Amino acid sequence: MNRRYAFRCLMGMVSSSPLLAMQNGDDDVLGPVNVHEFEEVAKKKLHKLAYDFIAGGVEDEMTLEANRAAYKHWYLVPRVMTDVSTVDLSTEVFGIKLPAPILVAPTGGKNLVLPNAENIVARACAKTKTLFCTGAGAERAVEDFDNVHWWSNTTGQATKTAAVSYAKRIEDRGGKAITVTVDNQYQSNRDRNNRNRFDYGYMGTGVPKAGVNQPPRNPARAAMWQPHTPNLTWDYIDWVRGAVNLPVILKGVLAPEDAELAVSRGASGIVVSNHGGRQLDGVIATIDALPDVIQATGGKIPVLMDGGIRRGTDILKALGLGAKAVLVGRAPLWGLGAFGQPGVERVLELLAAELKLAMALAGKANLAQIDRKLVRRIG
């Protein structure tokens, strides 16, 4: 039995999934063994336009690269001689019990990967008991899944009437929280999409199959011509909280000053996020922004984080710096592009398994034992 298969047995990951079909007895396990390899498989299967939309950042992609590079100057300081015979990843986020502190982030353009992709990801979340934050307007894809806890993501609505209507619709359909993406006032200037003559109206219909030279209908218009909710202000929290009994979580906070305002204005929580490096280029990496945001909140509201997460050790570092949980965006999409629903499930299982092993090797038997002493910044 090789080490790779032994690891999967140890972490309880071996299943009947076609990704783990074995050949030559137990000597080999087929399929990607980490998120990076899932991306390689997905890249080969996806149309270039779809791959670039998912993988790309904005302009020079400084922030996209920074999100990954920043993990390299945060190091773990493990403790030894502690009992890690069992390791418990379970947590509770806004009253929802989860088997691991890993959520699926809202991502646009899923249908560029597969038709009805929101439903496919929802089924994968149901199978793995993962909380799913849907993309804007995608709540119909998940409301019929009784065993899926889901949040709805929005860039906001321009008027109080529209905001109240949206919030009530989400509550009526069974959403457990509303996340407000606050860093998406306008469509950003993404060079890869512009080079591919990407039409944003094309996202709901999918793209040609890989190898078919068929560009979308129109080139992308100037970014400033595509506003989302440029008049979004702190009053939005009052509009929504006054209409429904749901947590209101602000996604896209990087500045400590905004974290303080979020607390004082009644936000239920924060997601430290730079939109995966897809909005304003040159902004701080999320793992670097996290400590100051945590400090600014004073522990009064939960703080989550996304951005550049590809390994269980990335998640452990975020937890060590104070994050309650993390959201993963691109990683599940690489699973989706590589193998559909089984791919999404396997990516989520891999991340949880890597986190579990990393916690054990760091001497942490549960999430409560993870603290700031575990992580040190070098350089």
Q: Which residues are catalytic?
A: 275
Q: Which two tokens stand for residue 83?
A: 């009992």
- Please state the φ and ψ torsions of residue 362, each to the nearest 5 degrees: -90, 0
Give the 3-state secondary structure of residue 201.
helix
Q: Which two tokens stand for residue 93?
A: 């986020």
Residues 6+ apart with CB under 8 A from 308: 67, 68, 70, 71, 276, 285, 286, 287, 314
Angle at 76 between CA 75 and CA 77, to 5 degrees: 125
Q: Which two tokens stand for residue 221?
A: 């218009």
Written as one string, the DSSP assignment of 281-331 is TTPPPHHHHHHHHHHHHTTSS-EEEESS--SHHHHHHHHHTT-S-EEESHH
Report in angstroms the alpha-carbon separations of 347 from 32, 138, 161, 310.
9, 22, 40, 9
Angle at 20 between CA 15 and CA 24, to 5 degrees: 115
